[in-house]
Amino acid sequence: QHSCKLLIVGGGSGGCTMAAKLSKYERDLIILEPNDKHYYQPMFTLIGGGMKTISQSCSSTKSVIPKNVNWIQDKVKSFNPQGNIVTTSNGDTINYDYMVVSVGLQYNYDQIIGLREALDKKDSGVCTNYSSQYVEKTYQVLQNFNGGNAIFTFPNTPIKCAGAPQKIMYIAEDYLRRKGKRNKANIIYKTSTPAIFGVKKYAQKLQQICNARNISVGTRQNLIQIDSIQNKATFEFLDEENKTESLEYSMLHVTPPMGPPDVLMKSSLSNSAGYLDVDPYTLRHNVYGNVFGIGDCTSCPTSKTGAAVAAQSIVVLKNMINVMNGKNIKEKYDGYTSCPLVTGYSKCILAEFDYDLKPLETFPINQGNELRIMFLMKKHALPFIYWNIMLKGYWNGPKTIRKIMHFGLD
């Protein structure tokens, strides 16, 4: 029974960024977001390593939504894009002229047998940085580690921040070394992907780091079951039929399988894989021209990150304004995404790349090296940028900085 010109569904990084930007042009705006807390998820990696606390990563949703935007604390139960209407869990209906969909990804814990139970069990040694609910357990597991296998997994689905499953591994390795326990640990990375990272330049460097630090990397291996009574993890070999392996663990950091939220998947807004079916360059829906998408829930074939959201936000803004004014759209997203690959308690490789998986680095130094300055940026500057610039609608990613930095060089 609500009606608005502009509806934003999902108040995470993408939704709040778009609310901030669009509210500077349009007053008749509703944002739907069920949670009353907003997390800066990139900080979870540092929380898992004991470098930040959960409260430092969190703010109230109220404080991150512009004052002139109408926040409805509820979630979409079904989309009806033919009728320009959504229904919510509380039974409300909302009519819109234009809609931004930014519902992120859903964690499908149930796709791994025993995962939920193992995460909920206090002394299981099983943890994940991916959820605000479990991230503090990671550091407890690390502190209690007393030898054996420490296993880190990457599931057989697309995920957000594809570097995060291994960042916590490097941090754990560094932690154990500093505590004099490194020689008691076997550190093992098990990934469903064919290589340690999707971009060759960074993959080579990361593989070298694993070799040098005695970390074993198993590719095309997917965690399917956890036995938290016997502390055993079972992996399937994706390229060999019916081959599995069970390993005992003392620490098991799991990245849960992810996918588009069910509500999106079952709607006519999604493509065959269930993601919001948008043009990868204009971010406009391929069928419903009054719908745009941003962030992890979209079909854009880029690595799903907050950095990508920042770069997409200006494209969505400009294209939406033109559509609302009956003009042609021309702004294009180049696939820019970035992943600060933290490799220990003071070092970071800052991967930045585009749709072609070609490096697109901001600073005129080789970001493929482990650098302290990039670690400091990750720890201190990026949270500041997120809360104070991006969520206020003024951060479009580092493109302008890159142009200034590379002036006269390229």
Any catalytic annotation for residue 339?
A: yes
> If contact means CB under 5 to 8 A according to the sort of partner, which of ligand FAD, ligand UQ1, none does residue 390 touch?
ligand UQ1
CA triple 77-267-290, angle to 5 deg: 95
Interface with ligand UQ1, residue 20, by CB under 6 A: no
Instruction: Work out how close the CB of 126 gets to ligand FAD at its nearest, in angstroms, rounded to a whole number.
Output: 16
- Which CB atom, from 189 or from 386, has the smaller least distance to ligand UQ1? 386
What x/- string results for residues 39 through 78 when contact with ligand UQ1 is judged by CB under 6 A?
Answer: ---x------------------------------------
* CA pair distance 100, 77, nearest whole angstrom: 16
The active-site residue, picked from 161, 210, 297, 300, is 161
> If contact means CB under 5 to 8 A according to the sort of partner, which of ligand UQ1, ligand FAD, none does residue 44 touch?
ligand FAD
CB 202 within 8 A of CB 212: no
Instruction: Work out how close the CB of 33 gets to ligand FAD at its nearest, in angstroms, rounded to a whole number.
Output: 5
Interface with ligand UQ1, residue 368, by CB under 6 A: no
* CA pair distance 319, 355, nearest whole angstrom: 20
Q: Which of 128, 382, 391, 393 binds ligand UQ1 (CB under 6 A)?
A: 382
At 43, which amino acid appears?
M
What are the residues binding ligand FAD (CB under 6 A)? 9-15, 32-35, 41-42, 44-45, 75-76, 102-104, 129-130, 160-161, 164, 261, 263, 295-297, 304-307, 309, 338, 340
- Which CB atom, from 164 or from 210, has the smaller least distance to ligand FAD? 164
CB 33 within 8 A of CB 7: no
Instruction: Work out how close the CB of 260 gets to ligand FAD at its nearest, in angstroms, rounded to a whole number.
Output: 10
DSSP 113: B
> If contact means CB under 5 to 8 A according to the sort of partner, which of ligand FAD, ligand UQ1, none does residue 397 touch?
ligand UQ1
Any catalytic annotation for residue 297?
A: no
The active-site residue, picked from 16, 297, 300, 339, is 339
Cβ neighbours for 151, distance < 8 A, ≥ 6 positions apart: 188, 189, 190, 233, 247, 249, 251, 252, 253
DSSP H or E run through 17: helix 13-22
Q: What's the half-sphere exposure (Cβ side, CA atoms, 13 Å) at 383?
A: 20
Nearest residue (beta carbon) to ligand UQ1: 306
Question: What is the side-by-side strand order in the sheet with 215-218?
Answer: 126-127, 251-253, 148-154, 185-191, 215-218
Which range in 183-191, 262-270, 291-299, 379-387 contacts ligand UQ1 by CB under 6 A? 379-387
- Which CB atom, from 112 or from 236, has the smaller least distance to ligand FAD? 112
DSSP 322-367: HHHTTPPP-------EEEEEE-SSS-EEEEEE-TT--B--SSSS-T
CB 19 within 8 A of CB 8: yes
Which range in 63-71, 133-141, 167-175, 303-311 contacts ligand UQ1 by CB under 6 A? 303-311
DSSP H or E run through 384: helix 382-385
* CA pair distance 341, 349, nearest whole angstrom: 5
* CA pair distance 49, 47, nearest whole angstrom: 5
Interface with ligand UQ1, residue 386, by CB under 6 A: yes
- Which CB atom, from 104 or from 125, has the smaller least distance to ligand FAD? 104
Where do contacts with ligand UQ1 occur on this chain (CB under 6 A)? 42, 306-307, 310, 338, 340, 362, 382, 385-386, 390, 395, 397-398
Active site residues: 161, 339
